[in-house]
Amino acid sequence: MLFEQACAIVDLETTGGHITKDRITEIGVILIDGERIERFSTLVNPGQPIPPFIVNMTGISDEMVANAPPFEALAERLLRMLEGRLFIAHNARFDYGFLKNEFRRVGLRFQTEVLCSVRLSRRLYPQHFKHNLDSLIERHGIELAERHRALADAEAVYHFLQSASRELGEAPVRAAAEYLMAKPTVPEGIDADVVDQLPDVPGVYLFFGEADQPLYVGKTVNLRSAVLKHFAGEPADRALAEAVRRIDWQETVGEFGAQLMALQLIRELQPSHNLKGRPSQELCSLQLASDADGFVRARTVAARDVDFSRVETLYGLYRNPREAKKVLTDLVRAHELCPAVLGIEPITSKKGSPCCARQAGHCRGACVGIEPVESHNARLMAALARLKVKNWPFPNAVAVVESDPVTGESVEHVFDRWCYLGSRGEEGEALDGTPSFDLETYKLISAYLKKPFEHTSVRLLETAQPATMGAW
């Protein structure tokens, strides 16, 4: 027996390469238990047309699968067949991902150890450039009755493993496989089984340290991969990896929900290793006002004093007044505006004297009447234009509707004037958010509106959501 645990060499034929839109048309499985070998093969009705180029490649047509069982009719039997076995496939991410999605559609969870024979071939035969199945068949002299059929391609993988074992010896093949499947070492005190329980779905993960202190909140499209990266090889943050004593996670419908939930948890828990995303108690912006002399000046306004969700003329969002002043100072220097007029430089000399910037040749003279008020005002407005905080682009609240393309599950996240009001399974449910203007939520929504996430849409709600907006 090459590997200590029972194996399943799997190959799928599908209607195409999209892991959520396409469907399985044929399944081929070779079950290996020591010297005992069993083979299983079946066509699958995909419930959708098979494209002509797929028909030409595989020979599987709509007519062939018309009377074949749908996946849901095979699911429980197939799950019993594969559970607990080492899953081996050529480009395993594709076959394994397809099967996981098919199981999820019928409400079943499938998760097991995976070995990719492409990666195994690369490790065993680094002198070769190509490691696709056709290259392996030619290189190892594998003879098949047909190609691009599920069981036949699974046979090709089986014969590759046999050939590699004969050429190199079983021990090197086994060692290479163990290297590729090696699990990261989890921190002391954490049950190693947590690695097997982590799902391959979007969500938020949480690390806790001694006395259950929150250390880190992370967001991801794949919980299992993201968590394991923290402990694999040389961790990017070794101090964090070594401090973890407990791992928790919450699944979400998709990536947008994961990012949104992470913001809420960081705000609530304030983990020590999340330097970004924490709410600022000093959140502020720049607001313009004209003085008696006609000059437009920028003043710092705090979110705790002004409802940023309803003010339409703000310039930039800053974590504290120092940050706001630095941005304004840099802007003044870059555009040769007058720091004295704008209140950045205190006027200590007699009235009508040039500011320090004017004396150094970096001010066009608004302070001494050389540059007209209108010119200085226009240049200030032009310089600030790129910093203007976007106005809420909708007449009412909106729901960002997020759907899981595999299970059909959906959730809507409700926002009004950049404030998060909560999430719900369907319209009419109570919202669980505490409305407040938050810098990170503003950035998330404004970025989303520029480039929406996959499997999401925006729905305008008929009436505004009643809420008293707070501020952070």
Q: Is residue 32 scored above 90 in pLDDT? A: yes
- In which band, very low, low, confident or very high, does the pLDDT at 347 lie, cut at 50, 70 and 90? low
Q: Is residue 350 scored above 70 in pLDDT? A: no
- In which band, very low, low, confident or very high, does the pLDDT at 23 lie, cut at 50, 70 and 90? very high
- In angstroms, rounded to a whole number, what is the distance separating the alpha carbons of residues 95 and 111? 13
pLDDT tens, position by position, 37-47:
999 999 999 99
Q: Is residue 433 scored above 70 in pLDDT? A: no
What integer pLDDT is reported at residue 229 of this predicted model? 87
- In which band, very low, low, confident or very high, does the pLDDT at 472 lie, cut at 50, 70 and 90? very low
Looking at 183-197, 335-349, 402-416, 420-434, which range is the least confident one? Answer: 183-197
Phi-psi sector, 31: left (phi>0), alpha (psi -120 to 50), beta: beta
Q: What is the mean pLDDT of the chain?
A: 89
Q: What are the structural domain ranges in the chain?
A: 7-181, 193-269, 284-387, 398-471
Phi, psi of 274 (to 5 degrees): -95, 90
pLDDT tens, position by position, 129-151:
999 999 999 999 998 877 889 99
The CATH number given to 193-269 is 3.40.1440.10
What the block records as the tokens of 470 is 């707070």
Q: Is residue 187 scored above 50 in pLDDT? A: yes
pLDDT tens, position by position, 104-128:
999 999 988 899 999 999 999 999 9
Distances (CA, A) of 185 to 164, 218, 229, 231: 29, 19, 11, 6
What integer pLDDT is reported at residue 1 of this predicted model? 57
pLDDT tens, position by position, 297-310:
999 999 888 888 88
Measured in residues, the chain has a length of 472
What integer pLDDT is reported at residue 466 of this predicted model? 45
Amino acid, single-letter form, for residue 33: D
What integer pLDDT is reported at residue 395 of this predicted model? 92
**What DSSP letter does each residue of 326-385 carry, written as one string?**
HHHHHHHHHHT--TTTTTSS---S-TTPPPHHHHTT-S-SGGGTSS-HHHHHHHHHHHHG
Distances (CA, A) of 458 to 21, 262, 392, 428, 441: 21, 21, 14, 17, 16
The residue that leads in pLDDT, 454 or 184, is 454
Show Cβ contacts of residue 351 under 8 Å, excluding neighbours closer than 6 positions: none
Do β-strands 296-302 and 410-416 pair in parallel, antiparallel, or remain unpaired?
Answer: unpaired
- In which band, very low, low, confident or very high, does the pLDDT at 462 lie, cut at 50, 70 and 90? confident
Phi, psi of 194 (to 5 degrees): -60, -30
pLDDT (mean) for 212-234 = 89
What the block records as the tokens of 312 is 């339409």
- The fold adopted by the segment(s) 7-181 is Nucleotidyltransferase; domain 5 (3.30.420)
CB count, 10 Å around CB of 312? 9
pLDDT (mean) for 305-331 = 91
Strand order in the sheet with 398-403: 419-424, 410-416, 398-403, 456-460
- CA-based Rg of the chain, rounded to a whole angstrom? 30
Share of the chain above pLDDT 90, in %: 65
Show Cβ contacts of residue 65 under 8 Å, excluding neighbours closer than 6 positions: 25, 43, 44, 45, 46, 50
In this structure, are residues 81 and 75 in contact, taking their beta carbons and an 8 Å threshold?
Answer: no
- In angstroms, rounded to a whole number, what is the distance separating the alpha carbons of residues 148 and 165? 24
pLDDT (mean) for 178-195 = 77
Greatest pairwise CA separation for the chain in angstroms: 99
pLDDT tens, position by position, 195-209:
767 888 899 999 999
- In which band, very low, low, confident or very high, does the pLDDT at 26 lie, cut at 50, 70 and 90? very high
Looking at 9-23, 160-174, 196-210, 223-237, which range is the least confident one? Answer: 223-237
pLDDT tens, position by position, 256-300:
999 999 999 998 999 999 987 777 778 999 999 988 889 999 999
Alpha helices in 9-149 (DSSP H): 52-58, 62-65, 71-82, 92-105, 117-124, 133-139
- In angstroms, rounded to a whole number, what is the distance separating the alpha carbons of residues 191 and 181? 19
Q: Is the dihedral of CA 98, 101, 107, 113 positive or negative?
A: positive
- In which band, very low, low, confident or very high, does the pLDDT at 318 lie, cut at 50, 70 and 90? very high
What integer pLDDT is reported at residue 312 of this predicted model? 81
Looking at 159-173, 204-218, 304-318, which range is the least confident one? Answer: 304-318
